[in-house]
Chains A and B, each alone.
Chain A
């Protein structure tokens, strides 16, 4: 695959959910991503129609991992492998990639990246929480915001770019080795390590906020209320519902 074609596919992979639909999910997005290659592989009109139609089947995967099946599909199309094997490959990979993506990206990397910005601001004192009220100090301005945002976006998107690029490259070059790649991604302790770092960062932030910013009454409130809320969230109670319950209870208590 030429470098320009690779670049086109890489950029197109960012728009896989542009026409997301409930009938066949990312089907048109997948076709949009690999269309530049299908154009080259099938110069004959009828063959291209058939190839385009084939790739409008149901497809759904974590958007950051979609370059893996895209790379493999491109390699298989270039070798003119049977349509059913390409379709089976897409179906087989969708499930494990979605699972790995959900646990690695949504449940570990994104929360860690987002919280690391908040933690940094709280620990350094750019944002303080005197008596539980968020106060922005004069250390915060457009530049510190730009730096903080870049930090979050770099932590998150740095890894995502690596996943997208390497997924496409590896999928295209070593299509049969992809199962080993997925196993390698899911077997590493990456999820555990990210959550561990996030866990300790959380601990440090809580200690700093508790002892530096809170006075006696907010500390008692924190000790009393935090375990109840934490328990309810672990039990699966919706946080939005808890938000409204907490607000309404606060108002009701003032009337008692």
Chain B
């Protein structure tokens, strides 16, 4: 189990790097990240289902300007890993109520990690000041070193966070889920469909074209 969690953390950390620190190829989006983690853990289908749900509901989470949005890759990685690990260890079937429960419990991790990202950016100010002093001394290679250190700090931060989140989730979530009353489970079952509708509503709101405005433009011409 430890090796699998370590493996998820190492790969998940790399996926998380793609969100801000390096490359930004959108491998960090839930639709890619979740199935990837699912594939690593031998359950691609669960990864895809969670990936689709998260991609839909986090569809309009975007890093506009200098804003730091909720960290969607951490949610995707931890939700998929926890769903698969808990299902295997406690023989809980991956039913809609379970998926909603896992997503409910892992979304706050994205908010916590956002604060860690903010702390990381504040820490990076010290790295920049350190680099500035070395540049004044004529030690120009510091630029490449500090860039590498910046990436390494982000990577280690993600690895440690994912490991703690998975171990914490493995300890807390199964007990809470198994203790849920039948009506709550039934409510979560219904919530799955509503969350899917919510996801469609988010996508429509982002991708819609304002036809009325287009027609007004045509009239002006």
Please list the residues of chain A having a beta carbon within 8 angstroms of any beta carbon in chain B.
Answer: 14-15, 17-25, 27-29, 31-32, 35, 39, 45, 48-49, 52-53, 56, 60, 63-64, 98, 102, 106-107, 110-115, 117-118, 121, 127, 129, 131-134, 136, 140-142, 145, 149, 152-153, 156-157, 160, 192, 195-196, 198-199, 201-202, 206, 218, 221-222, 225-226, 229-230, 233-234, 239-240, 242-244, 246-247, 250-255
Contact = CB atoms under 8 A, between A and B. Distances in A.
A contact face: mostly helix, strand, loop, or mixed: helix
B21 A140 contact: no
Given A18-B147, A35-B143, A199 B208 contact: yes
Q: Give the top 10 A-B pairs by smallest Cβ distance, nearest first.
A: A251-B187, A132-B193, A19-B150, A250-B191, A198-B207, A21-B124, A229-B201, A18-B150, A106-B62, A136-B45
B100 interface: yes
Contacts of B60: 111, 233, 239
B128 A23 contact: yes
Given A18-B150, A134-B49, A254 B201 contact: no
A111 B203 contact: yes
| Interface bin, chain B | 35 or more
Nearest to B95: A133
Contacts of A31: 143
A242 B198 contact: yes
B101 to A, nearest CB: 9
A234 B201 CA distance: 9
B169 interface: no
Given A127-B52, A134-B49, A149 B191 contact: no
A205 B200 CA distance: 10
A52 B135 contact: yes
A112 B31 CA distance: 13
A222 B147 contact: no
26 contacts: A15-B151, A17-B21, A18-B22, A18-B151, A19-B150, A21-B122, A23-B128, A27-B128, A35-B140, A56-B131, A102-B62, A114-B26, A114-B31, A114-B55, A129-B196, A131-B193, A153-B32, A157-B25, A157-B26, A192-B209, A201-B207, A230-B201, A240-B70, A246-B195, A247-B194, A247-B195
B25 A145 contact: no
Nearest to B60: A239
B203 A115 contact: yes
B45 A140 contact: yes
Contact of A153 (B25, B183, B194, B205): B25
Interface of B: 20-27, 29, 31-32, 35-36, 39, 44-45, 48-49, 52-53, 55-66, 70, 96, 100, 103-104, 107, 118, 121-122, 124-125, 127-128, 131-132, 135-136, 138, 140, 143-144, 146-151, 154, 183-184, 186-188, 190-198, 200-209
B200 A250 contact: no
